[in-house]
C-alpha cells in the first residue's frame, strides 16, 4: 500500500479492464466485513451524489452497484471484489440531513471503526456533487482521514453539469474547503466518462497494483 502523495497520472485502460467484478457481501458493521486482506477503496458521499453511477462507470458495468441501492441495502456496507486484486467498498450515503458529522452517530461510528480496524483501507473517495461546495460534514470527514493518516481523494461528480470555464475554479474552491491540494480533487462525469483515467490512476497507485493486474486473463 502506498501513502501520500498519490500518483494521479491517468492510466491507459487495456481491453478487458477491469476484469471480474464480484459482489462479495453486505455488512451492517465493519466487524462483519469479509476476512479478505485485499487493498480496499472506500467510496462515500451524500445520497444521490452519483456514487452508484461512478462505480458502474469505473467498472464498465451497467448495474454493478444496483445491489447498493436495493431497499434495505442502502444503509449497509457493500463489498465488491475486482479481479481478486482490490475491493471497492460502497459505504452508506450520509443522507440529506445537514449538520455536523459527529451528530450522524451511526455513520460516524462506521467510519471510525473502519479507520481503526481495517489497515487494508488503501484509499477513500469522497464524492461531492460538482454543483455544490463541500459542507461542514465533508470537511469534518476529511479531517478524520487526515488525522488517521489515510489517503483520500475528492471526486466532483456530475461535472458535465458545470461549464468548463467554471470547473477549474470550483475544483480549487473544493480543494481549499477540504484542506487538500487541488490536484487531489478529480472532476468526474458518468455521462462523458471524464476523469475516469486519472481516477483509476490514483486507485491503482494507492493499491500498489497496475492496470494489467486487473485485466481478466483469457485462458
Ligand atoms: P447515488 O445515490 O449516490 O448512488 O447516486 P446515483 O448514481 O444513483 O445517481 C443519482 C442521480 O444522478 C441519477 O439520476 C443519475 O442519473 C444522476 N447522475 C449520476 N452521475 C451523473 C453524472 O455524471 N452526470 C449527470 N448529468 N447525472 C448523473
Considering only residues 137 and 25, tell me which one the structure prediction assigns the higher pLDDT. Answer: 25
Q: Ligand 1 centre and the CA of 117: distance in Å?
A: 31
The confidence score (pLDDT) of residue 96 equals 46
Cα–Cα distance, 188 to 158 (Å, whole number): 6
The confidence score (pLDDT) of residue 1 equals 43
The reply to whether ligand 1 has any atom less than 6 angstroms from the CB of 56 is no
Mean predicted confidence (pLDDT) in 71-83: 82
Considering only residues 95 and 109, tell me which one the structure prediction assigns the higher pLDDT. Answer: 109
Mean predicted confidence (pLDDT) in 143-172: 94
Q: Write out the three cell numbers for 66.
A: 444496483
SS3 content of the chain, % helix, strand, coil (to 5): 35, 20, 45
57 has pLDDT over 60? yes
What number of residues does the chain have? 219
Q: Ligand 1 centre and the CA of 129: distance in Å?
A: 9
The reply to whether ligand 1 has any atom less than 6 angstroms from the CB of 157 is yes
103 has pLDDT over 70? no
Residue 45's beta-bridge partner residues? 127
Q: What is the pLDDT of residues 192-214, one digit of tens each?
A: 999 999 999 999 999 999 999 99
**Residue to mutate, 96, 130, 190, ligand 1, most ligand atoms under 8 Å from C-beta:** 190
Q: Report the 10 Å Cβ neighbour count for 75.
A: 14
The confidence score (pLDDT) of residue 5 equals 64
Cα–Cα distance, 85 to 150 (Å, whole number): 20
Cα–Cα distance, 94 to 108 (Å, whole number): 9
Amino acid at each position: 500500500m502506498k501513502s501520500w502523495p498519490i500518483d494521479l497520472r491517468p492510466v491507459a485502460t487495456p481491453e478487458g479492464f477491469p476484469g471480474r467484478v464480484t459482489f462479495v457481501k453486505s455488512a451492517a458493521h465493519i466487524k462483519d466485513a469479509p476476512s479478505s486482506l485485499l487493498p480496499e477503496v472506500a467510496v462515500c458521499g451524500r445520497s444521490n451524489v452519483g456514487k452508484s453511477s461512478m462505480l458502474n462507470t469505473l467498472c464498465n458495468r451497467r448495474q454493478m452497484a444496483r445491489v447498493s441501492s436495493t431497499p434495505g441495502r442502502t444503509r449497509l456496507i457493500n463489498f465488491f471484489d475486482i479481479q481478486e486484486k482490490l475491493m471497492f467498498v460502497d459505504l452508506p450515503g450520509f443522507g440529506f440531513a445537514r449538520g455536523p458529522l459527529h451528530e450522524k452517530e451511526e455513520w460516524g461510528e462506521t467510519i471510525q471503526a473502519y479507520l481503526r480496524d481495517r489497515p487494508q483501507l488503501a484509499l477513500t473517495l469522497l464524492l461531492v456533487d460538482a454543483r455544490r461546495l463541500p459542507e461542514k460534514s465533508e470537511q469534518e470527514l476529511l479531517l478524520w482521514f487526515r488525522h488517521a493518516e489515510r489517503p483520500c481523494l475528492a471526486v466532483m461528480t456530475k461535472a458535465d453539469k458545470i461549464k468548463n470555464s467554471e470547473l477549474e475554479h470550483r475544483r480549487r474552491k473544493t480543494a481549499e474547503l477540504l484542506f487538500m491540494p487541488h490536484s487531489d480533487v478529480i472532476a468526474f462525469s458518468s455521462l462523458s466518462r471524464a476523469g475516469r483515467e486519472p481516477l483509476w490512476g490514483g486507485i491503482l497507485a494507492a493499491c500498489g497494483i497496475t492496470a494489467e493486474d486487473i485485466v481478466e486473463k483469457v485462458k
